[in-house]
Amino acid sequence: MSASFNFKSMGSAEEILDWGRENGRWITNEQAVANPQLLCAGDLAVWKGEGKARVGLVIRLSRNGQFHTIEGDTFQQVERRAHCFREPGLSGFLIANNNVACRSIAS
CA gap 61, 15 in Å, rounded: 25
36 contacts 67 by C-beta, under 8 angstroms: yes
Amino acid identity of 1? M
Query: Confidence class of residue 107 from pLDDT cuts 50, 70 and 90?
Result: very low
60 contacts 107 by C-beta, under 8 angstroms: yes
Is the confidence at residue 101, as pLDDT, over 70? no
27-76 pLDDT, tens digit each: 999 999 898 888 888 999 999 887 778 899 999 988 888 999 999 866 78
